[in-house]
Amino acid sequence: MSLQKETYLANNNVKKDGIIQEWSTEEVTEYAKCMKDPSYFTENYVKIISLDSGLVNFNLYEYQRKMFQQFEESRFNVVLACRQSGKSISACAYLLWYTLFHPEKTIAILANKGATAREMLSRITLMLENIPFFLQPGCKALNKGSLEFSNNSRIIASATSGSSIRGLSVNLLYLDEFAFVERASEFYTSTYPVVTAGTSTKVIITSTANGIGNTFHKIWEGSVQRVNGFKPFRVDWWDVPGRTDKWKEETINNTSQLQFDQEFGNTFFGTGDTLVNSQTLLEFKALSPIRSLEDHCLQIYKAPVNKHEYIMTVDVSRGRGQDYSTFNLIDISVRPFKQVAVYRNNTISPLLFPNIIYKYAKSYNDAYVIIEANDQGGIVCTGLYYDLEYENVHVRSALKADQIGVEMNRKVKRIGCSALKDLLENKKLDITDENTILEISTFVSKGVSFEASTGNHDDLVMNLVMFGYFISTQYFSDMTDINIKQLMFKHKMKQIEDDIVPFGHIDDGEYHIEGPTEERPWALDHKDQNF
């Protein structure tokens, strides 16, 4: 081979732009092999820094070869990988290969912090410096934020923000540790159209698990459910050579089971100070609905069962296009109680919502309906009870039959949250809907109460808070012959009983009914109620 020894600036290991070189037959053969196979290129020509041995050849693990193959076969890839599995360095090798052998491409590396993205670019530069000149297309620009070659392909590195790649034609977008990116939802919403405008653009997302409900978790779960176009790739601790059961045991002994599950077990725990503990969140398993109705707003998980009793709890949005109008249908004839259907829609009018409620409450054996009456909920209460003449609706007062629904106040919410926490942590309520699980996992402490963490929703959770409140009342016990004390821890129940009032009255300051009396025949049999 005849090569004019001109290098890029002072870097003797990087070929300068515009250098004319002649290849030997062997080099032509090697170039063809490398261009065809990123694994071959990596194992034969890429070097990395080892903590123990310094600069060494990059000997791929089996999972890394399979991952490269998937990257080639699929446009959209999401990788869930345990700590210290080599996912980031693997991505660097693949990005270098893609840039060298694909002309006129723009590759964007985006991370939570610009420094992190630039560190990845420095790793790629190190790899470049240690491959032979015949594989290098020539370097036009090399700095901390970008790398540009003679084949008109380039790599740029930046922090994730709405303006990171705006205005660019990106052919391959790489998102590193995406579960840790702040305001990831806003970023992804703004950048997704950029990378999906073409028909051959690629997206590679890699991360370890970091809570439930964030954008990475949603993309991962969607890929597993095959609903979002992403192909999942999972790297578990046992995929890494040298990690044995003994290594696992030692690691747990030196840390904790919880920390091991978070760092190495690819476990999605709830973020922040959640209402429900992490162990319970870990055990939630979302199921696919048996049917989707009402333009996919209604998810059916179990069809109505003859003679079973159902409770429907309803939360009404304060405005169209904002929060969601929702309901949960729960079977109270089984143990544990079971979520059987979920409705979620942020565009339906409060004037039309009663028709949806009526339709499915009737379908589920005239389900007992409990509606939050605050704000727009009053319209729904009136429409269902008076206009549609659906009588199996909770009425706020035994003496004021025009007071329909539940007024959500601090006391009701506090009691409902406490009851819901015990039901879920003691496995007395079975939740299988993905959106509900996501909301529970991001329902966090704020001040003296709980609400959705920033960027998330809690409409479905508030359905369950109402359910928790309702089953904690004497009214529920009278209605069903179920003693909730048998379903919940006694010390928690005592806390609830200190604050509770019969469900037929919610602290309106006018009436106070101590318990079942002869004047309360409506509490005996909900099927025969005449409100």
Strand partners, 343: 298, 327
Contacts 24+ apart (CB under 8 A), 334-339: 334/308, 335/428, 336/427, 336/428, 336/429, 336/430, 337/423, 337/428, 337/429, 337/430, 338/302, 338/429, 338/430, 339/301, 339/429, 339/430, 339/431, 339/432, 339/433, 339/436
CA distance 326 to 288: 18
CA distance 475 to 484: 11
The secondary structure of the chain in percent helix, strand, coil, rounded to multiples of 5, reads: 40, 20, 40
CA distance 478 to 5: 91
Question: In the Cβ-directed half-sphere of 54, how many Cα atoms lie within 13 Å?
Answer: 0
383-393 core/surface letters (b: 16 or more CB in 10 A; e: else): bbbeebebebb
CA distance 160 to 195: 14
- Which DSSP symbol is given to 527? G
Q: Among residues 338, 339, 329, 376, which one has the least CA distance to residue 354? A: 376
96, two tokens: 């270098």
71, two tokens: 């990257």
SS3 3: strand
Pick the catalytic residue from 6, 43, 62, 177. Answer: 177
- One-letter amino acid at 166 equals R
CA distance 382 to 389: 9
Bridge-based pairing of strands 139-142 and 202-207 is unpaired
204-234 core/surface letters (b: 16 or more CB in 10 A; e: else): bbbbbbbbbbbbbbbbbbbbeeeeeebbbbe
- Which DSSP symbol is given to 488? S
CA distance 442 to 275: 9
CA distance 314 to 507: 20
Q: Among residues 299, 360, 303, which one has the least CA distance to residue 324? A: 299
What's the N-to-C CA distance of the chain in angstroms? 95
Q: Among residues 404, 364, 365, which one has the least CA distance to residue 384? A: 404
Per the annotation, the verdict on 263 as an active-site residue is: no
Bridge-based pairing of strands 11-15 and 7-8 is antiparallel
Active site residues: 177
